[in-house]
Amino acid sequence: MRTVLKGMRAVFDGYTLRSGLDVAVEFGKVVEIGENLKGDEYVILEGKVLYPALVDAHTHLIYAGDRVFELKMRLTGASYLDILKEGGGIRSTVRATVEASDEELISSTLKRIEELKRRGVGAVEIKTGYGISYEQEIRLLKLIHEVSIKTDVIVVPTLLFHVPPEDGDVKGYLKEFFERYEEYAHLIKFVDVFADEGAFGPEETEMILSFYKSKGVPCRLHADEFKPFASRLAAKYGCVSADHLIHTTEENVKALAEAGVMATLCPVTGFFLREGFAPYDLLKEYGVRVALSSDHNPGTAPFLNPFITVLLAVFGYGMTPGEAFAAHTSAAADSLLLNKVGRIEPGSRALMFAMDYTPDELVYRGKVDAVVDFVEL
C-alpha cells in the first residue's frame, strides 16, 4: 500500500525546510519525496508543516523523587559542585531511586516519555546512573529494557558511570563491571562517563573508555561541563559524542573536530545552572556536528519540552531555528547511530508529525505549547 501525504505548506526533512512537496510511504518507510505524487491512498495535511520525529539524544529519564529543594540553594549562590559536596545532587537521587520499587520506576519513566512524545519526540536515549552499585545499575538497565517494551517511542539504553561509589573504591567498582560484562552486554547500546570534577577523573575515565572500546561498545562522554579535560579523551578514544561542553576550549574543540566526534549540547542545563552556554560558534567554525538534547534529570534540567530546548539553542547559542531543529532531528539521531529516523528521505522510517508552525514561526511566537500530531500510517 502506497500512502501519499499531501497538502503540507512545508516539509522539514531533518536538514532544511522545503515547500511544495508530497511524501510517499510504503510499509512504514518513506519511498519518495516530490511534487504531485500518486498513491493508493492519501492523507491530507492541509496547511500543516511536516517534521521527522524529534530525537532526544541525552537523558536521565529513569529515577525517583525530585530535587525541588535544591532550587533555593542554587538561587542563593550554591554551585552544582557545592550541592554535590554537601551530599545533595546526584547522590540524593540515587538514594530515592534505590528505594523505589521497579513498578514505580517503570511507571514514572513511561510518564516522562509520554510527555516528550506529546511534543514530537519519537526516539530517546535513557541512561542509568542513579544506582552507583553493580547490582543497582544492572537493575536500571533491565528496567529500561522493560520500559522500551511498553512504549512505541524508540529507546536507546546507555550504561552511565555517573559518580564514584561512596566508599571511594573506584577500581573495585569498575572491576566488577569489567569482569561481569557478558552478563549485561545485551542490555546496552552505549557507555557514558560523567568525566568531571566531583565525578570520574581522567585516569578512571580512560580505564572505562579503554575497556568498552575493546569490546566494540560505542562510547560518549559528559565532557567539559565544568572542568575542560574530558573532550580530549573523547577525541583520543573516538567517542561518538562529547556532551555538554559548557566550559570547553578552542584546543579541545579542534581535537573533537579532527577526531570526527559529534557534540551533543544541552542548553537547558547551562540555563538552569546559570553556567552559560557551550560555544556553538566555535564548534561550527571547526566543523563539529552538533546535536541537541534535553539532558532531562531531576536536578539540573527538569524540563520535558524539546521546544524549550530549541528556544534556548536559538537565543543562547545563536543557532538559527532551522539549525536547532536539524540538531534535534537528524543530528541527534546520528549521535545515537539511528540512521533511519530524525529525517524524511527515501529509506527513512516513516516516523513523522505535523504541526502548525515552521521552525522560524515556532521560535518567533515562543510556541513551547505547540500541538503535535503524529502521522499514523
CATH 3.20.20.140 fits 54-304, yes or no: yes
Cell numbers 513551547 correspond to what residue? 368
pLDDT digits (tens, 9 = 90+) for 222-264: 999 999 999 999 999 999 999 999 999 999 999 999 999 999 9
The single residue listed with the C-alpha cell 540553594 is 73
CA-CA distances (angstroms) from residue 155 to 56, 151, 213, 282, 288? Answer: 10, 8, 22, 31, 25
| CA separation for the pair 297, 303 (Å, rounded) | 8
Q: Residue 49 forms beta bridges with which residues?
A: 10, 355
Number of H helices, E strands in the chain: 16, 17
Q: How far apart are CA 296 and CA 61, in angstroms?
A: 6
Report the DSSP beta bridge partners of residue 157.
126
Domain ranges of the chain: 2-52+343-374, 54-304
Residue 164's identity, in one-letter code, is: P
Q: What is the pLDDT of residue 51?
A: 98
At 90, list the grid cell.
546526584
pTM exceeds 0.85 for this model = yes
Q: Which amino acid is at 120?
A: G
What is the Cα–Cα distance from 221 to 215, expressed in whole angstroms? 17
Q: Which CATH code of 3.40.1010.10, 2.30.40.10, 3.30.930.10, 3.40.50.720 fits the domain covering 2-52+343-374?
A: 2.30.40.10
Matching fold, domains 2-52+343-374 and 54-304: no
pLDDT of residue 280: 98
pLDDT of residue 71: 84
Q: Put residue 47 in one of left, alpha, beta given phi > 0 → left and psi -120 to 50 → alpha.
A: left
CA distance 133 to 164: 9
Beta partners for residue 123, in sequence order: 55, 154
Residues in the chain predicted with pLDDT less than 50, given as ranges, are: none
3-class DSSP string for 205-220: HHHHHHHHHHCCCCEE
Question: Which pLDDT score, from 0 to 100, does residue 81 have?
Answer: 74
